[in-house]
Structure 1
Amino acid sequence: MNNPIYVSGGSKGGVGKSINTMGLIHTLRSADQEVLLIESDTSNPDVWKLYKDEIKTELIDLDDANGWIDLVNICDMNPSLNVVINTAARNNRGVTAYGETLNNTLQDLNRNLITLWVINRQRDSLELLKEYMDALPNSVVHVVRNGYYGEERKFELYNESKIRRSVEDKGGKSLTFPELADRVSDDLYSKRFSIDRAMKELPLGNRAELTRWLSEVRKVLGEVIDG
């Protein structure tokens, strides 16, 4: 089996897809895994800007049929790399229209498709998740409750929902992503620092908070990466 394709999804702006993607990239690289980043937010490619000089990256428009063709071909040409797809807020439309292109080629690619679906505490996160699961039925979906919006018990809509039962019945996990202190998170975006660069250039106290957060991220995402 070739290395997996990871999708950092959520199909809403502001739920925390980008920080989840960054945590995933760092966790994989810390385990000596090579990563190919696919940035599909072509209008505002923040994560691509942070990592384009450190790892192999591609900008692909997944609102267009040609983008999905390009995605499959790139995955096929790089079987040894872990593919991490950072999705745009609008991408559910493209998934619904063209996701079958990827879904139907997973066996030929000899890859597993693993989705980390990041949610806040609002209902539309869950409604969009159902659409996504219908469009990509061959993906294992794990739901990531973004701790920025509160502790696990505050995600009542998800915790008590039918969609949670559906996710877990299909082998997915319900995870809680740790919160990173605002001043450190702001540093990453305002200074356009990858996590590796931040660990070298931020002040000591900021680096200590980032180290704490990365340790928690490894515990959470390790449940997915390590199977």
Structure 2
Amino acid sequence: MKPIYIIGSNKGGVGKSLLTMAILDYFSKNEQSCFLVETESRLMDVHRSYRHLPFAVLDLSSESGASGLIDLGFGHPNEIIIVNATAVSIEGIEKYSQHLITELSALDRPLITLWVIDRLTSSLDSLSAYIKVMGGSTVHVAINNYFGDENYFHAYQNSSLKVSIEAQGKSLVFPTLNSYICDKFFNNSSTIEDAATGMLLGYRSLLNGWRKKCHAIFDSIAFVNSSQHVRSRQEILATGISISRLQAVDAIEFPNS
């Protein structure tokens, strides 16, 4: 049962790419194989740092893109799929949510979302709309301390939406990362682990401290334990389920790194 993780929000600039990289760093530490999905060919900042990973670019705002994600779920049963989702692709995921949830459930590939919020009510309105159409899948909320301590997120902390989220997922508070350190691996297109290796001791200590905090958060939602069981293609096909384009799995074109 290798999940598919969607890291998303209703807008850019909230820290989705950094969170995606933190998740990849976590799974690398735990020796879990990952497959990266970028959803915007012009903004592949995570892929530039994690070029060694298999990856695809999918336009999830389209029906073919949504079907492509299902095909990846079937074609890569041994890899955890991590989707760095743009705001536009989130709209597509909402539009084709039932198609995705039904088919991925049949593949025994849980669909799990980490939704990054900011302090504006528009972020919560979009999240509320998202969870309404994503029934049957787990949604966690990610609070980025870059925008202030969790107590500053008044709109979310005092909302019924938080109650709904925590009935099936968790509210996760991610620590702020020093801007100089963050620039290091984005500007140099290096993985978080490689960036730590090449830093001066003081900055390396700060980065490794941030990594440990992030890893502890992922441990709290049992990331590794939920990614152990894998069904073979033969087991999946034996169920007789209907997959959108099974024969097209090998036809998906993956850009060269």
TM-score (norm 1): 0.93
Matched to 1:176, the amino acid is V
Q: Provide the residue aligned with 1:142 in structure 2.
A: 140
- SS of the residue corresponding to residue 176 of structure 1 reads strand
CA distance in 1, matches of 2:26, 2:92: 28
Q: Provide the residue aligned with 1:37 in structure 2.
A: 36
Residue 54 of structure 2 corresponds to residue 51 of structure 1: no
Larger radius of gyration: 2
Residue 176 of structure 2 corresponds to residue 179 of structure 1: yes
Deviation at 1:65, TM superposition (A): 1.0
Q: Provide the residue aligned with 1:90 in structure 2.
A: 88
- SS of the residue corresponding to residue 173 of structure 2 reads strand
Deviation at 1:193, TM superposition (A): 1.6
Give ranges in structure 2 of 5+ residues lacking alignment: 227-257
CA distance in 2, matches of 1:63, 1:193: 29
Q: Provide the residue aligned with 2:126 in structure 1.
A: 128
- SS of the residue corresponding to residue 116 of structure 1 reads strand
Give yes or no for contact 2:73–2:104 (8 Å, CA) kept in 1.
no
1:210 aligned to 198, 202, 207, which one? 207
2:185 aligned to 173, 185, 188, which one? 188
Residue 153 of structure 2 corresponds to residue 155 of structure 1: yes
1:199 aligned to 196, 199, 205, which one? 196
Q: Provide the residue aligned with 1:12 in structure 2.
A: 11
TM-score (norm 2): 0.83
Residue 126 of structure 2 corresponds to residue 118 of structure 1: no
Percent identity between matched residues is: 32
Q: Provide the residue aligned with 1:107 in structure 2.
A: 105
CA distance in 1, matches of 2:5, 2:87: 17
Matched to 1:194, the amino acid is T
CA distance in 1, matches of 2:54, 2:213: 26
Matched to 1:13, the amino acid is G
Residue 45 of structure 2 corresponds to residue 60 of structure 1: no
Deviation at 1:220, TM superposition (A): 1.1
Q: Give a deviation string over 1:137-170, Cα, whole Å, max 9, x none.
A: 121011111011111111111001111111112x
User: More displaced, 8-17 or 100-109?
Assistant: 100-109
Runs (4 or more) in structure 1 with deviation over 3 Å come to none
RMSD: 1.4
Q: Provide the residue aligned with 1:21 in structure 2.
A: 20
- SS of the residue corresponding to residue 91 of structure 1 reads helix
Q: Give a deviation string over 1:184-221, Cα, whole Å, max 9, x none.
A: 01112111121122122233322221101000101112
- SS of the residue corresponding to residue 88 of structure 2 reads coil
Q: Provide the residue aligned with 2:71 in structure 1.
A: 73
Deviation at 1:136, TM superposition (A): 1.8
Q: Provide the residue aligned with 1:222 in structure 2.
A: 219
Deviation at 1:111, TM superposition (A): 1.6
CA distance in 2, matches of 1:25, 1:5: 13
Q: Give a deviation string over 1:65-100, Cα, whole Å, max 9, x none.
A: 111111100111111111111101322321222232
Matched to 2:57, the amino acid is L
Q: How many residues align?
A: 224
Give yes or no for contact 2:7–2:19 (8 Å, CA) kept in 1.
yes
Q: Provide the residue aligned with 2:2 in structure 1.
A: 3
- SS of the residue corresponding to residue 214 of structure 1 reads helix
CA distance in 1, matches of 2:202, 2:55: 31
Give yes or no for contact 2:59–2:89 (8 Å, CA) kept in 1.
no
Give yes or no for contact 1:11–1:87 (8 Å, CA) kept in 2.
no
Give yes or no for contact 1:95–1:135 (8 Å, CA) kept in 2.
no
- SS of the residue corresponding to residue 37 of structure 1 reads strand
